[in-house]
Chain A
Amino acid sequence: MAFTQLTSKMVRADVAPGRPLFSQRGAMLAYTGQVTFTPSITGGQGGIGSMIGRRVANEATPLMTVEGSGSVMFGHGGHHAHVIELTGETLHVESDRLLAFEGGLRQGTMFMGSQGGVMGVIRGQVTGQGLFTTTLSGSGAVAVLAHGGVFELPIRPGAAVHVDPQAYVAHRGEVRNRLSAAVGWRELVGRGSGETFQLELTGEGAVYVQASEEKL
């Protein structure tokens, strides 16, 4: 495992030759050994084509490539960091929540509309995530940022889990999500419970929820 949780807000990553990392630009706190940090102009993997894709999708968080041998400490903005281990499944996460991830993971961009059509697009708008989200797939570790720490909720087939869109951090596995709106007469007269929109997640996998309703 390349990532070790040092404190609730700091993650240590081991870099070895041939095993580079990607991290949010400027998130390095300290390092030991021979490590170089190169701004990744293409914003991650996949060359120019993917770069244009990310630029268009507005999922182009400045990333840097971390190479060499040694260990690097990462943290950002006093936010809580959480390490997620992927073993073959796909993680969906907002690019600005990505702190660092192993170079062995495939990075991609997903159009919200491809899950749930129009409702997916609305969902992106409501949650402030925009129309696109970043996907990471393969085997390796990812460190994500969250306000106030995260907890993991398993999603089992046949039972939907509902999450407040503002508290949603990421999800992994074969999970479909759609925005469910519980708009009743109370919402229309301005006496809503504040829980009008919820993300309904079904399938098999897990969702990561933060202890706060604030975006990063």
Chain B
Amino acid sequence: MALFRLQGSRVLAVDLSGDAVKAKNGAMVAYDGKMTFKRLTGGGDGLRGIVTRRITGESMTVMEVRGHGVCWFADRASEVNLVRLTGEKLYVEASNLLCTEATLRTGTTFTGLRGASEGHGLFTTTVEGTGQAALVSDGPAVVLRVSPQFPLQVDPGAYVAHTGNLRQHFQSGVNWRTFAGEASGEAFQIRFEGDGLVYVQPSERTTVGGQV
């Protein structure tokens, strides 16, 4: 079993004993022991995965790391967050996914307008199964709980990932002020309703929505 540990807040250490993990291409910073790195064609998941990824543009260059020893991963000094999945589905942007256990399946889903507003395209990556995954965020991410009584609005640029049984809509606060050049910079939000967790980072990506 691959064991995920945090080495400080920005480095992920994975103990491997002959098994494999999937990681973002080029994210290895060091390893101790014997490791092999193999790029997974089309991001894994066989031919269907390749075709979906090509069409959706949610291109995730993933490598398979297999071996005995410890492997350290990091991505441009961003903070690493560990997520343990027990059968549920994690929705995450491909660029925020650092590493997943081999037992987890990755796929692609349609997100609609939200994806477009985030500047990521119309699709997002899903991670499913039982095991651990590591996400990266620009600054330490906070986990916000959404319950039926308490829906949550998130800036599309600060959204990292979510799990649970959540419905999401895209809402806009565009009014005459926006067009008069008096915009607050918060014209678009994603509204989450239902029951689940949302990961939010203390930083905003440059998004189409962020400009207005």
Contacts and interface: CB of A to CB of B under 8 A. Distances in A.
Interface stretch (B31-39, B51-59, B106-114, B144-152): B31-39
Contact of B39 (A147, A151, A186, A212): A186
B30 A162 contact: yes
A192 B30 contact: no
B90 interface: no
Nearest to A194: B26
Task: Give the interface centre of B11, B30, B37 by most chain A CB atoms within 10 Å.
Answer: B30
Contacts of B61: 194
B63 interface: yes
A153 B31 CA distance: 9
A213 B76 contact: yes
A162 B26 CA distance: 14
Nearest to B31: A162
B96 to A, nearest CB: 16
B26 A161 contact: no
B25 A211 contact: no
B178 interface: no
Contacts of A163: 29-30
Given A149-B8, A214-B77, A186 B38 contact: yes
Interface in B116-147: none
Contacts of A186: 38-39
A151 B11 contact: yes
A193 B26 CA distance: 6
Interface in A145-201: 147-149, 151, 153, 159, 161-164, 167, 182, 186, 191-195
A58 B96 CA distance: 38
Contact of B25 (A161, A164, A167, A193): A193
Task: Give the interface centre of B26, B38, B39, B74 by most chain A CB atoms within 10 Å.
Answer: B74
A209 interface: yes
B29 A193 contact: no
B7 interface: yes
B170 interface: no
A90 interface: no
A182 B38 CA distance: 10
A210 interface: yes
Q: Which 8 pairs across A and B sit closest by C-beta, in order of nearness?
A: A148-B77, A194-B26, A211-B10, A167-B29, A193-B63, A193-B37, A211-B74, A212-B77
Given A162-B30, A194-B27, A212-B29, 9 more contacts: A147-B77, A151-B7, A151-B11, A151-B72, A161-B30, A191-B41, A209-B72, A211-B10, A212-B10
